[in-house]
Structure 1
Amino acid sequence: MRRFLKHRLPSPESLRQHRWLRMLGNTLLHPSLWHLNRHSAASAVAIGLFCGLIPGPLQMFGAAIACLIKRANLPLALLVTLYTNPLTIVPLYLLAFGLGAFVTGSDARFVAPPPFSWDSLGEAASNYWDWLLTLGKPLAVGLPLLAGLLALTGYVAVKAAWRMYLVREWHRRATRRKRD
């Protein structure tokens, strides 16, 4: 897994040369943000899964800040935030709404979103904002709860998968040594 990801992630040197990232200096070039091990990978997946439910374009910004604080693998966290996309965001928000309604004991029902019109983009955005506000407490409770559950599950899954991979490699080496 490490070899697979290492060849697909940008190198620190390519980022150092990037014209937009040069202004950040060495902040983004800290070695722990680019080092890939089971701890940084598990933290990055957890951060990406948690920040993936942040609405709008703030997902990657939130993930980047969390990686800087936690010193987790930055490219992996940014990649993982992409699990929310136009096909998955509605089911995830429905799940968050249901989870929030269950936890709060609310009998609120999910209301369908208003129709979208490209002709009046400002009015459509306003209608969507009003619609989100009607979802209220169940969604406000459900989103962080679902994000936390996804992050915890992702963290444990990566740690377990990495551990299973290491144990399998140890057994392969031991078998190879016995043959020699």
Structure 2
Amino acid sequence: MVLAAALAIPLRVNLPISVAVVWITNPLTMPPIFYCSYLIGTLALGQPEQHFAFEPSWQWFMESLTTIGPAFLVGSFISACVASIIGYFGVDLLWRRAVRKAWLNRHKK
């Protein structure tokens, strides 16, 4: 949150939204998001899904870089691109709607 807020100010982006979006990925939502990214990566690379069981060890992590890592990274990249496009146009739409509503309210008075 601190990094998102610190970067939002010099980049002149919406500070509350940038801090709130950080909360989308949390310990409860990360496993399904990561698994979906892996599945998207396997589809994009044309690879079959591999069975894996998470182990919190350095050895498992290093082995996963070569087995499921490429599919996960490609899927994460695709997911990030799609989410950023949807987010950009979604926020733009909401912003235009809010400005239009404020404009109409101002003219009613």
1:78 partner amino acid: V
- Distance in 2 (CA, whole Å) between partners of 1:85 and 1:99 is 20
Task: Give the root-mean-square deviation of aligned CA atoms.
Answer: 2.7
Matched ranges for 1:3-82 at <5 A: 61=3, 63=4, 67=8, 70-74=11-15, 76-82=17-23
TM-score by length of 1: 0.50
Gaps of 5+ in 1: 1-58, 115-123
Q: Contact conserved, 1:101 with 1:138, CA < 8 A, in 2?
A: yes
Matched ranges for 1:86-165 at <5 A: 86-114=27-55, 124-130=56-62, 132-133=64-65, 134-165=67-98
Gaps of 5+ in 2: none
Decide which structure has the larger Cα Rg and report it: 1
Equivalent residue of 1:94, what SS?
A: helix
Change (3 A) 1:87 1:67: same
Equivalent residue of 1:108, what SS?
A: coil
| Structure with the higher helix share, 1 or 2 | 2
TM-score by length of 2: 0.76
Kindly tell me the number of residue pairs found equivalent between the two proteins.
108
- Structure 1 residue runs of 4 or more that deviate by more than 6 Å after TM superposition: none
Q: CA deviation at 1:73?
A: 4.0
Change (3 A) 1:141 1:127: same
Change (3 A) 1:76 1:152: same
Aligned pair 1:168/2:101, yes or no? yes
Q: Report sequence identity in percent.
A: 27
Q: CA deviation at 1:113?
A: 1.3
Which residue number corresponds to residue 16 of structure 1? none
Change (3 A) 1:105 1:64: farther
1:141 partner amino acid: V
